[in-house]
Amino acid sequence: MQLQPLGDVVDEWGARRILALREGGAHLHEIASQLGTSFATVKRVLQVWRRDGVAREPKQGAGKKDDVRWIFAGPRGPANLYHLERIRSATDGGAELLEVHDRVVDEMDNAPAYSTMTRALDKQLDYSRKRVRR
């Protein structure tokens, strides 16, 4: 059986050691202390091994084409950025970011959190007004 490496958390040697120690009857806390890793990492490796038969944790987002939580990324990202820019430019020059966010919440189906909106305005749309604190 071919074991796959765990990525940044535990390498292939670590995954093999976790499985070998567990098969030898060691408790999860003992394994974690012997390998210098966390209890949660050992538990996660064993859960993935039982579920999938491989000793690795899939990386978050790997292989995904879309996710409803990706508001300004993925296939809907450019359209949502355009919508955000249209809302921001429709407000007068003195509008505060709170007012822009209120309009975004009213108009967008999957409205972003205030911090997500300000980050998108700052980083992706080069809008450099001072952020208004909530």
Helix, strand or coil for residue 31? helix
Are 116 and 71 spatial neighbours (Cβ–Cβ below 8 Å)?
yes
Measure Cα distances from 68 to 31, 71, 78, 102 in Å. Answer: 38, 7, 14, 21
DSSP 79-90: HHHHHHHHHHHH
pLDDT by 10s per residue, the chain, length 134: 444 444 345 777 788 889 999 999 999 999 988 888 888 888 888 988 888 787 765 555 566 677 777 788 878 888 888 888 888 888 766 667 888 888 888 988 888 888 888 888 888 777 766 544 54
1-59 adopts what CATH topology? Arc Repressor Mutant, subunit A (1.10.10)
- Annotated domain spans of the chain: 1-59, 66-134
How is residue 77 written in tokens? Answer: 């990202």
Query: Residue 107: CA atoms inside 13 Å, Cβ hemisphere, count?
Result: 15
